[in-house]
Each structure stands twice: as structure tokens, then as C-alpha cells.
Homo-oligomer: A and B are copies of this chain.
Amino acid sequence: MTRIAFIGAGSVVFTQGLLADLFGFDDLGELHIALHDIDPERLRTAASAAAVIATELGARPTISAHLDRRAALEGCDFVVNIIQVGMNDATRIDFDLPARYGVRQTIGDTLGVGGVFRALRTFPVLRGLAADIAAVCPDAWLLNYTNPMAMNVWYLSALGVRNVVGLCHSVHWTMYDLSELVGVPFEEVRYLAGGVNHQSWVLRFEHGGESLYPALDEVIRRDPEMLRRVRVDMYRRLGYYPTETSEHSSEYVPWYLPHDSEIERLRLPVGEYLRIVEENVASYEKTRDAVKAGDPVPVEATMEYAPQIIHSIVTGAPRTVYGNVVNDGLISNLPSGSVVEVPCLVDALGVQPTAIGVLPAACAAVNAAYVNVNTLVVKAALDQDPRAIRQALMADPATAATLTVDQIWALCNDLVVAHSNLLDPELRAVL
């Protein structure tokens, strides 16, 4: 029997999608789905939805629901981490306080002020999770979806979690969209991407042995509106297409968000994630009400890697996935020890990252700034060094292009106070 824990299962919509994929496999053998959340209502909703999905797909898993995390983890083979620490209230703080200082953010979950504080409030929970895993399922694969991806995976690895990989669909959907743009069936496109999460680069984009980049250039040439996308702007200047959406990509560089004119030119949706948060709440409530009422819930397959990885490890069927893992020889011109995103082989042995060598210099330079921030945030947590939080934001490209150092320190002071109850005590210091 294969036992899979969902930590933060109350992110019901996401849980639904993953379960739909899992229950869609017919060769996984017996499954035990152990759901955990700290919110009883959300946990109940998740469990009900899981049962409904199983029924609709004709699967017969064991489903258990646990308010106690360690109970959920007991004896697990896989742990899917989809927690969101502080939920929407914390997210609003991440946007509102920086906005008062003039810092613009769109999604705010990866780098920048939002990403840094999301990491800092997630780390204490990850520390508990790591301790539980060490105690009751030390060999389990921890499939992390929680952002900020790179910092979380780095911190979990530093805590000694043996088998951890961070998963994100951005490479997949980028390639899907690019294929559509150039009019080639996605299945026929061959691609290689690599870099850091939400800022990888399409290193190869080919069809029938030929690069598709000229075709993309032609598409851009024909439609000047294409130039009003951040990722197209980055592609034209750096030579490689970035693997995140334009609003998201804009946050990790100093070039766009600080300028009013670029907000306009590139139609950047400042505060976008606050709107998404509202939608997520609405989606959740719809599911909650449906399961309460005994109505059917949507069962839509995704393309997420977690179910695929579980399938490959259980059955031995090899697959290629993109994973976020510690850079131990994988990308030679990004810092050793940082967390990078590379193609991974997954088969019965688990997720095995491939070494992709040297990134193009301009891409590596952009990634290097991203890694700097990660390094300092992880250091802040490992060394319990509140000064490193400020240093992280001084190194953050978009923040540093907007604020003076005094403002950065003042904003940090405001944020450690506002998030105080979720932070490690040492990191609440006002400097």
C-alpha cells in the first residue's frame, strides 16, 4: 500500500486536482490518502471532496483526515506540502505595507518583500514538518508546492530532509503556450529549461531538430502588442525565454515595476495576487458548499508533477519532470548549494536531477541576483540573524531599485512587527 500525506490539504482546490490525477491511475495499487490541515472546516471539506472524487473516478482509496500532523505523516511514502502559512491576512500585509513605501508587487510569493516574508513565516512550520518527517517517515519523498519554492526547498534541505523536491508547473505551461504561439503541436516540441524556480530559461525549443526561436521572433515581429509582455521583453534582450508569466517575471528584476512608464507599457497588474486570493476563497467556498450539499465537485485532471512522480516511483515507469533541488553540480555557473530548477529523471529510485552544465551568461547573471536573496533569507533563519533579512532586501533587485536603504530597514521593521506572531522570536527584532 502506498500512503500519501497532504499537508495543508485544506487548500482544497489544489488537493482536488492532485487527487483527480492520482485516482486516475489504475496501476498504483492500494492508496491511503492522509489529509492534514490545522483548519477543521477546511480539513472536513477536503476529506469530503476526496471521497467524492474517488467515487466519481471509481477509485477505492483509504482516506483519513488528521488535525495532528504527525499522525497524518506516520508511515507515509510521500508527503505533498501545500501549506500556506498566515493565509490571506498575511498576504495582504505583504502587499499593503510595502505599497505604502512605494514598493509594487504583482504576486509577491517568490522574491521581493512578499517572497522574503512568506519564507520567514513558513520556515518555522517547515521546521516542525521536518522534525515530524524525521520521526515517523524519514525516507518519504517530500513533494513541495509551497512558495517561495527555492527558499523553502533550500531550508528543508538544510534541515536534513533527505528526499525533498520542489514542484512547479511553470516550465510546462510556458512550453505549452510557446508551442501554441508558434503553431506547433505541443507533443512534438522538444525543450530544455533550467535556472531557478519562476525564473528558468528556455534553453532549447525545437521541432524536428530545428530551433523554434526564429518562428517565435517572427510571431513577435508581426504583432507589436507582443512587445508589451514582460517575458517577451526579457526574451528579446536576454536571448532566452523566461518560464514564468509576465506579471510574475517582472518581480525578480529591477527593470519594470519601479517605473510608472513600464507599468503602463507592459500593463503590469500591481496587486494582482490579492485578486487571486479572493478567487481562491470563492473557489474554496463553492467546493465547501457543494460537498456539504452532497453536490458533485469538479474532477479535473491537472498536469502537476506530484501524481506523476508518485506513479513513477511506485510503478517504475520512467518520466522526465522539472524539479527544484540543491545545486550539487547541476548548473555550474550558479552557486553550489543554492536551489535550482532542472530536468529530473524519475523512476523507481526517485527523483534524480540531471546536470545541465553552464547557463548563458546573461541568464545566470539574472538568476544570481535571485540566489543572493535566497542565500540571505535562509541564512537569516539558520543563523537567527535579523540583519540578514534587511541584507536580503538590499540584495533584492526590485526592492533595491525602489527604496533607499533607510526605507528598506524601516519597511522591514514594520513587517517584522506586523507578522510578529508567525516569525521566529529572534527575527522579530526591530533594527
Contact = CB atoms under 8 A, between A and B. Distances in A.
Given A209-B139, A316-B190, A348-B190, A237 B329 contact: no
B329 A345 contact: no
Interface stretch (A44-52, A111-119, A124-132, A255-263): A255-263
A347 B347 CA distance: 13
Interface stretch (A144-152, A278-286, A354-362): A354-362
A237 B390 contact: yes
Interface residues of A, number: 64
Nearest to A399: B254
A12 B192 CA distance: 37
Tell me the dominant secondary structure on chain A's binding face. Answer: mixed
Given A190-B316, A318-B319, A404-B261, A204 B362 contact: no
Given A259-B404, A343-B345, A362-B388, A328 B332 contact: yes
A132 to B, nearest CB: 19
A340 to B, nearest CB: 11
Nearest to A191: B349
A201 B273 CA distance: 40
A239 interface: yes
- Number of copies of chain A assembled together: 4
B335 A320 contact: no
Query: Which of A328, A387, A405 has the most chain B CB atoms closer than 10 A to its own CB?
Result: A405
Interface string A376-388: 1001000000011
Contact of A400 (B261, B332, B348, B401): B401
A207 to B, nearest CB: 11
A217 to B, nearest CB: 14
Interface of A: 139, 187, 190-192, 204, 209, 233, 237-239, 253-256, 258-259, 261-262, 316, 318-320, 328-330, 332-333, 335, 343-345, 347-349, 352-357, 361-362, 364-366, 368-369, 372, 375-376, 379, 387-388, 390-391, 394-395, 397, 400-401, 404-405, 409
> Across chains A and B, which 6 residue pairs bring their CB atoms closest together, nearest first?
A329-B329, A345-B345, A365-B372, A362-B391, A352-B354, A401-B401
